[in-house]
Amino acid sequence: MVRSCGLTDDAGMATTRRADMFTADGKPSDDDPRENGPTLGDERTTLVETLRFARLTLEMKCEGLDAEAMARRSVPPSTMSLLGLVRHLAEVERATFRVLMAGQDVPKLYCSDTDRDGDFDGAVADPRVVAEAWDAWRAEVDFANRFVAEAPSLDITAEDPLNQHGSGGGATSLREMLVGMVWEYGRHMGHVDLLRERIDGRIGQ
């Protein structure tokens, strides 16, 4: 977990210029649901726990924000917002676990052939849109967690003929998809950090 770094003033006293989102001193907290998870687990446990950590970080970084703040975009020309990222990650979870790995024939949540950026374009400052995005994301996360828990092995495969998931256009394993999802969240949590800091200066752990 990344901790806040302290600064030192001219008198040598420890100071900080940044608000901490969760704990005042940047140390582990019993209030942080990412702490005290399983350690020294097997491969599946390690991947699942890492992904749980990343998903919880998304939720924690969005805590306490109203619809306007959730939909506030970064700097032009980017259309990225916290709400857009929630919608985007719901779409990625759905495509990875429900469509690719489970083989379900379900439509995309927000994107289409005519609006490939519907996840971000439709992220408007409406409390109903925010609530729907969280509901969709949590539903896809719940499905993914059940699927992974029930899978007989991380070696099970699915065909990715259009190479939409980095398989090179062939078979891909559940193991690869879990690693890919960790990478997806890791990349976007950097965006989330900057978006939240721009809103109210908070960075947290």
Q: What is the pLDDT of residues 91-141, one digit of tens each?
A: 999 999 999 999 999 999 999 989 999 999 999 999 999 999 999 999 999
Tell me the average pLDDT across 147-166.
90
Q: Which residue type occupies 53?
A: F
Over the chain, what is the mean pLDDT? 85
Percent of the chain with pLDDT over 70: 79
Pick the closest to residue 27 from 8, 6, 55 (CA basis).
6
| Out of 23-27, 61-65, 139-143, least confident range | 23-27
Judged against a pLDDT cut of 80, whether residue 35 lies above it is answered with: no
Burial label for 168, CB within 10 Å (0-12, 13-18, 19+), is: exposed
pLDDT of residue 3: 42
Higher pLDDT, 202 or 34: 202
How many CB atoms sit inside 10 A of residue 113's CB? 6
Tell me which fold the domain 43-200 belongs to. Four Helix Bundle (Hemerythrin (Met), subunit A) (1.20.120)
How many CB atoms sit inside 10 A of residue 43's CB? 10
Sequence ranges of the domains in the chain? 43-200
Judged against a pLDDT cut of 50, whether residue 13 lies above it is answered with: no
Highest mean pLDDT among 38-47, 141-150, 156-165, 196-205: 141-150
Percent of the chain with pLDDT over 90: 69
0.85 surpassed by pTM: no
